[in-house]
Every structure is written in C-alpha cells, then in structure tokens.
Structure 1
Amino acid sequence: MKALILDMYGVIIKDPEGGLLPFINRTFPDLSRDDVYRHWIKANVGELSSFNFFRELGFEGDLSIIEKEYLDTIEIDESFYEFAPILKKHYNLALLSNDLGEWSRYLRNKFKINDYFDVITVSGDLKIKKPDVKIFMHTIDKLGCSATDCIYVDDRRFNLAAAQSLGMDSVLFNSRKVQYEGKTVVSFKELTNLLI
C-alpha cells in the first residue's frame, strides 16, 4: 500500500497562515509579518514555547486564554471528514506539519483528526521543519516505506520540491492560488478523484 502524506495549514486547515498575523495585529497593529514570523520560526522548531512566543510579541496576562482565543479562530476544511476515510482505504495516511507542538496537539484534538493518521510529524516536536529533507525522511521511516511509495500534498511549492528531491510524487493543494506546472487540486474531492 502506498502512503499519502498531508500538510496541515492550507490543506486540512482552511487558512494557509492559520490567521496568525490578523489575530496578532488586532492587539499590536504595528507588528509586521517579519516581526511576528522571526519568533514564529523559532517556536516552529521548538526553540520557543507557545506562551513564550506570545510573550516575545508583547502579550501580557493569562497567555493560556490568549493562546486558546487564537487557536479557536482556526477552521478546518470540513470536507476532510468526508474524503479522509475514502483515502484511508487506499493509502496509509501521514500528517507532516510545520507547527508548534502545543498548537498542533490542541487543533488535532479539537478537530478529532488524530485517528485518521498512521503517522504524525510536527516540526515543533522534532525540532526540524520543512523544507528540510530530514523531516520528510523521518516521516517515511515511521511509515515503513520508501519515498517512491509516497505521495506528498502541500500548499507550498518549495515543500513539494523537497519531497520530489527524495523521489516522492507530489500534488499542490492550491489554497494560495499560485502558478504550478505539476499536479494541482483545490479540494479534497479533486484530490480523491486524482488519486483513486
């Protein structure tokens, strides 16, 4: 059986950025994308805890409330629930996400998606993030298959290029509406039709 590896944000989660910058700019309108993402990159590889990420940006008070308020703005693509069981009949499913470990656990539990996946890899837990090929290799090893047995789905072209460099097939989930020469889908229905 082949393996299907899915990205989280921009694939399973509707907003590719998770709505992070708009949420932060409600409190700190002068913080730029660069101001936010230099801390987010550190948190994404486990160098900052989720609370310290908010603290570095200037948030004060009960950070658990602020964090939950942010995470509860994030929405799942509801069609995932319809098509994941169909895909699971044909593929071992893996999740490969650049995310803070705490955030990923909260969202996966909230949306009840853990049981769909045979393998879950999160950059904040592993301290490596895409497009580093080591995080792809870790996921392939956990799946117990070869790269050529894997299909990787992501909304970012540079992550697809990293997967392809290992011999994986790849599909762009085009939630960012970009130009791409390879296989492209815009929904789980299209993905299912392409792969089954």
Structure 2
Amino acid sequence: MQTLQQPELLLFDLGGVIIEVDTTGLRALGEKGKSDIDLWETWLTCEAVQLYESGKISEADFAEGVLKAFSSPMPADEFLRSFSAWPTGLYDGAADLLRLLRKHYKLAYLSNSNSLHYPRFQNEWHIDTFFDYHFASFKMGYVKPHADIFQAVLEVLPFEASQIFFVDDNRLNVDMARSLGMRAEIVRGVAELHEVLQRHKILQNAGTHG
C-alpha cells in the first residue's frame, strides 16, 4: 500500500478543536431533543451567522437574525451576553500539543470568528502565538463551509492543498476541504485530535519530520 506523504502544514479549526465551547447557550436556542451536532449544523448554515462571521452585519442584526432562525423568544441582549461567553478556554493539553507540533510542522488556524469572540482569543489565550498563519472569517469576508474561504487561504499559504492536513469539528467544513484536495478529518476536542494525529502518523513522525 502506498504511504501518504506527510503534510507540510496543519490547519486547525479553533472552536470545538483547540478552544472549548460551552454549548449550553446554543441548546437554549434550539429545539429540545436535538443533538449538539444537529444544532451546530443549523448554526453554521444560518444566514445571520454567516453574515456576521464574515463581518457584514452588526451585532444587533446578528442577534435578531439568529433568534428568528431558531424561533427563540430570548431577548437580544441576553443572547449577545450568552454568546460572548460561549468560548471558555483552551482545552487541557492543547497548548502543549501545539508547541510540540510546531517544532516539526507549520501551523495555521482557520476559524469562523467574530468581533465578540476574537478579542478574547487574543487577549485571554494569546492564540496567535501558537500558529504561523492566522485566518479569521470576519476579517476575510468569507465563512466556512463555503469554498471561497478555503480558496483565499490557499492563495496565501505557500503550500498546495495536498500538503495541508485540516481538522474541524463540523462535517460540512471537512467535506469542503476534502473537495478542494486537502486531507481532512472531523475532530472534537484534544483527545480526538491526538487520536487522529496518531492514526495519520503525524504525531509519531513529529520527532523526525523536517
């Protein structure tokens, strides 16, 4: 069996992979009985979310659109306070894992983010210090899972799609990355990230890569 070439760059989603997200607020919006996975797919494909996380509408319009999409009676100011607090910090072990990987691979993140969460990523967790390249949707004008944002990343990175290994906690994003030629896997949390990197021999090869 042919051995796959090891990637040159590891591309990470942040929320749900590197940064832990409290889904209590999301569950409060959605129908009872729906799984977190179903709720996240509804969230990801919500027009107001896509517009806000591509930097195209205000926080007020974002809140109004989300509450309408989820048929939620929650007041807009309550939703925005809750939403601001969804990210809770780096998963245990995430920082050490990124430091190890960065010794042997180039690292980048591609995050659907926004003007409420991104300052916390920088000020509380100094997220950029762990990565060589930084891609935040609201600064780019595009959002995952659309092809535009992946193509914009590929235009900047000095690597071909086939040299990139992408991890994300959402199936739609992983499917799009694969369709553009990246190797990609669904990962939820650092424990799953470890398992996936070991399965693809990325962790084992970290000591000898480059």
Query: TM-score per shorter chain, which class?
Result: 0.7 to 0.9
Residues 112, 191 of structure 1: alpha-carbon distance in 2 compared, 3 angstrom cutoff: farther
Equivalent pairs, count: 175
Matched, 1:42 2:51: yes
- Corresponding residue number in structure 1 for 2:152: 138
1:128 to 142, 146, 151: 142
1:59 to 60, 63, 76: 76
2:108 is paired with a residue of what secondary structure? strand
Matched, 1:21 2:26: yes
- Corresponding residue number in structure 2 for 1:195: 202
TM-score by length of 1: 0.73
1:14 is paired with a residue of what secondary structure? strand
CA distance in 1, matches of 2:24, 2:49: 13
Structure 1: which 5+ residue stretches go unaligned?
26-32, 176-184
CA distance in 2, matches of 1:24, 1:158: 21
Identity of aligned residues (%): 25
1:107-126 aligned at under 5 Å gives the runs 107-126=121-140
For 1:136, the aligned partner's letter is F
Matched, 1:6 2:23: no
User: Residues 2-37 of structure 1: CA distance to partner in whole angstroms, max 9, x if unpaired?
Assistant: 01000112111223x755425769xxxxxxx779x4
- Corresponding residue number in structure 1 for 2:70: none
1:150-161 aligned at under 5 Å gives the runs 150-161=164-175
1:71 to 77, 80, 84: 84
For 2:154, the aligned partner's letter is I
Residues 74, 85 of structure 1: alpha-carbon distance in 2 compared, 3 angstrom cutoff: same
1:188 CA drift (Å): 3.6
The answer to whether the 8 A contact 2:48-2:61 is kept is no
CA distance in 2, matches of 1:22, 1:119: 32
Residues 24, 84 of structure 1: alpha-carbon distance in 2 compared, 3 angstrom cutoff: same
User: Residues 131-190 of structure 1: CA distance to partner in whole angstroms, max 9, x if unpaired?
Assistant: 222211222232211111100001112211111112111122045xxxxxxxxx843432
For 1:121, the aligned partner's letter is F
For 1:14, the aligned partner's letter is E
Residues 92, 101 of structure 1: alpha-carbon distance in 2 compared, 3 angstrom cutoff: farther
User: Residues 106-132 of structure 1: CA distance to partner in whole angstroms, max 9, x if unpaired?
Assistant: 223311211111111122221211122
